[in-house]
Structure 1
Amino acid sequence: MTATTADLAEGARLDLEIWSTTATLVVTDGDRLTPAQAELRIVLAEVEAACSRFRPDSEINRLLARPGRPVTLSATLNAVLAAALRIASATGGLVDPTVAAAVVAAGYDRDIAAVLDRALAGGRSDAGIAPGGPVPGWDRLDHDPAAARLTVPPGVGIDLGATAKAFAADQAVARIAERVGGGVLVGLGGDLAVAGPAPDGGWRIAVADDHRARAAGHQTVSITSGGLATSSTTTRRWPTAAGWRHHIIDPRTGRNPDSRWRTASVAAASCVDANAAATAAIVLGDAAPAWLAERHLPALLVDVDGTTRPVADWPHPEVTS
């Protein structure tokens, strides 16, 4: 969902293909790269096994097959779900994990590469033309984080895509900093988190619509802690009979938002918070600048015509598209 990249003059960097995107690991001490990579892979495997919508054997899919019954959660799913519900509450439901049915109705019912392959082959002509309507609502989920138990009402689905990837980035840098040491950056498709001592001048991040298009960035910024995330309607999108659709859903309508912004980048205390705010900004459209400013969240909004608008303490762009 996001688009940021990072380079380091010294140290070491590793890029991995995962979840139809790129995982980037950067460490300030090159000797720590191998053990850091091992910790990253463990975190990614734990989060995928717990949260993947596309694995029939994932914990979330097994849980959803038991509607109306309390289910004990793994530590990973319990933590991700707690983060998703905290975000839903903090955003007033603008970022809501019960968007699963709406996401599927838009055509995102499998890995994005398979969605694109099907669209190019002319399949799923009904995608994107569902009537829509508000999603069930996060407050219908009965979650007891202390007991690690969840009851999901019948007919309610859960999509943790707006939280799990950012959670994995936060979890990975925290674990690597604690167990391996040194400064570390992890970016998952652009959902980016840092921990430990930052390099001189901070971690330099190139902000772009697509994290793979590093030469076409809007701006390079520097962070020393926390997270930075970008939500974009220009990636993870696909053609349908009703026009182009993308992965961001407005929970109030059950449809893609008709947003003024093609990209929203936000810096926050964690990658989970940054990603949630960036997603909310896309959903809010014209109301996003005031919403972000009220919460003192530095952000860069990119209009559909490429005009950039910094918000709060985000530095004025040196490069605009």
Structure 2
Amino acid sequence: MTATASARTTAAADWRALGTGVRLVVTDPALLNSCNLLLARHLAEVDAACSRFRADSELAALDDAGGRPVRVSPLLAEALGVALRAAEATDGAVDPTVGSAMDAIGYDRDFTLVREDDRPVRLTLRRAPGWRRVTLDPGTGTVAVPAGIRLDLGATAKAWAADRAAARLAETAGCGVLVSLGGDTAVAGEAPAGGWRIRVQDVTGPVGVTPAQGPYAMVGLSGGGLATSGTAARNWRRGGRQLHHIVDPRTGLPVRSPWRTVSVAAATCADANAASTGALVKGAGAERWLTGLGLPARLVAQDGTVLTTPGWPGSAPDRAAAA
């Protein structure tokens, strides 16, 4: 997803963090630089707490705890809480215990390095250990992860970080704020006239830099969050096989879904992202699941067919991307 807005009323900055594209838009151009500095500091703290790719992160330290309760920072405790709630809300379709499965398919480092890696991988059918085996005690600020289980917060952390950053920046700056992390978009504060205009597409990137690929739609967002999950952007080849980063906890392998992209609008970006990723994993019938949850969604099938659920905010029909 790519956010756009009138240049007369907003200002934007684009850069990279957490291994993905970052877009910040504010409704007061004079506050862009200070908000951008605060956002960079926030994302650096999230990376230090939640990264699976940093040996010095708090998350990595849990690998060596052998199942013993470990006191964690409030930041990591909050991120883990979001991940566990997402697992419960999706009936385990989004599960943070897929860390070892992610390593096994070669996604064990920043994605820019994954595509350059030619190490062979052995794909093994193996169910994820399961999120219910992770114990988070908010009262003591401790978490216990059984030995042999590696956590991966990639399915929820960016969306949660976008929510958290947008809310804090809007409160601090007193203006409208949009934060997008790799297509996970959260807004807070007063929206620009007409709302935030967001392009929903298969492969995301800054306006004018990454063209739309496949059918896309323009939608308006005035609050909450919008998230897109898909298999078209983060994929790579190993041994002649196409792999991607959405792992099915039931198999430990990249999900085989009738959908290539699912976009969802919700009260928070974290909720939207849990639903969009869960829909990819659930596969056939995901549109009924999303409708039952009352979530507006847009699902793109592997052949490019677009299906939407009631309430999807798009007013114009999908358009084909330019060749």
> Shared fold (TM-score greater than 0.5)?
yes
The answer as to whether partners of 1:169 and 1:187 remain within 8 angstroms in 2 is yes
Match of 1:283 in 2: 281
Once the two structures are TM-superposed, the CA of residue 215 in structure 1 deviates from its matched residue by: 4.0
SS at match of 2:236: strand
Cα-to-partner distance string for 1:135-171 (whole Å, 9 max, x where unaligned): 0000001110222101111111100001111111011
Match of 2:2 in 1: 5
Match of 1:318 in 2: 317
Match of 1:59 in 2: 58
The answer as to whether partners of 1:307 and 1:320 remain within 8 angstroms in 2 is no
CA distance in 2, matches of 1:296, 1:200: 26
Q: 2:226 aligns with which of 228, 233, 258?
A: 228
* Letter of the structure 1 residue corresponding to residue 107 of structure 2: Y
SS at match of 1:97: coil
Once the two structures are TM-superposed, the CA of residue 61 in structure 1 deviates from its matched residue by: 0.4
Matched, 1:149 2:142: yes
TM-score, structure 1 as length reference: 0.94
**Aligned alpha-carbon RMSD (Å):** 1.3
* Letter of the structure 1 residue corresponding to residue 197 of structure 2: R
CA distance in 2, matches of 1:105, 1:116: 15
CA distance in 2, matches of 1:312, 1:246: 29
Once the two structures are TM-superposed, the CA of residue 257 in structure 1 deviates from its matched residue by: 1.6
In the TM superposition, what are the counterparts of 1:155-194 in structure 2 within 5 Å? 155-194=148-187
SS at match of 2:254: coil
Once the two structures are TM-superposed, the CA of residue 284 in structure 1 deviates from its matched residue by: 1.1
Q: 1:131 aligns with which of 120, 124, 137?
A: 124
Unaligned runs of 5+ in 1: none
CA distance in 2, matches of 1:42, 1:14: 15
Once the two structures are TM-superposed, the CA of residue 320 in structure 1 deviates from its matched residue by: 3.4
Select the structure that is richer in helix. Answer: 1
Q: 1:102 to 1:317 in 2, by over 3 A?
A: farther
Cα-to-partner distance string for 1:17-60 (whole Å, 9 max, x where unaligned): 22332100000111111221122112101100000111110110
Once the two structures are TM-superposed, the CA of residue 109 in structure 1 deviates from its matched residue by: 1.3
The answer as to whether partners of 1:310 and 1:317 remain within 8 angstroms in 2 is no
* Letter of the structure 2 residue corresponding to residue 83 of structure 1: V
Once the two structures are TM-superposed, the CA of residue 317 in structure 1 deviates from its matched residue by: 4.9
Match of 2:306 in 1: 308
The answer as to whether partners of 2:94 and 2:277 remain within 8 angstroms in 1 is yes
* Letter of the structure 2 residue corresponding to residue 257 of structure 1: V
SS at match of 2:285: helix
CA distance in 1, matches of 2:249, 2:315: 32
Unaligned runs of 5+ in 2: none
Q: 1:316 to 1:13 in 2, by over 3 A?
A: closer
* Letter of the structure 1 residue corresponding to residue 128 of structure 2: V
* Letter of the structure 1 residue corresponding to residue 261 of structure 2: T
CA distance in 1, matches of 2:286, 2:318: 22
CA distance in 1, matches of 2:242, 2:115: 11
The answer as to whether partners of 2:159 and 2:270 remain within 8 angstroms in 1 is yes
The answer as to whether partners of 2:86 and 2:94 remain within 8 angstroms in 1 is yes
SS at match of 2:283: helix
In the TM superposition, what are the counterparts of 1:5-84 in structure 2 within 5 Å? 5-9=2-6, 10-84=9-83
Match of 2:197 in 1: 204
Once the two structures are TM-superposed, the CA of residue 236 in structure 1 deviates from its matched residue by: 1.1
Match of 1:257 in 2: 255
Match of 2:244 in 1: 246
CA distance in 2, matches of 1:49, 1:20: 13
Once the two structures are TM-superposed, the CA of residue 91 in structure 1 deviates from its matched residue by: 0.7
Once the two structures are TM-superposed, the CA of residue 130 in structure 1 deviates from its matched residue by: 2.3
The answer as to whether partners of 2:137 and 2:143 remain within 8 angstroms in 1 is yes
The answer as to whether partners of 2:18 and 2:43 remain within 8 angstroms in 1 is no
Q: 1:214 to 1:203 in 2, by over 3 A?
A: farther
The answer as to whether partners of 2:204 and 2:212 remain within 8 angstroms in 1 is no
SS at match of 1:113: helix
* Letter of the structure 2 residue corresponding to residue 180 of structure 1: A
CA distance in 1, matches of 2:269, 2:60: 25
Q: Number of residues paired by the alignment? A: 312
CA distance in 2, matches of 1:29, 1:23: 18
Q: Give identity over the alignment, percent.
A: 49
The answer as to whether partners of 1:12 and 1:27 remain within 8 angstroms in 2 is yes
TM-score, structure 2 as length reference: 0.94
Once the two structures are TM-superposed, the CA of residue 316 in structure 1 deviates from its matched residue by: 6.0
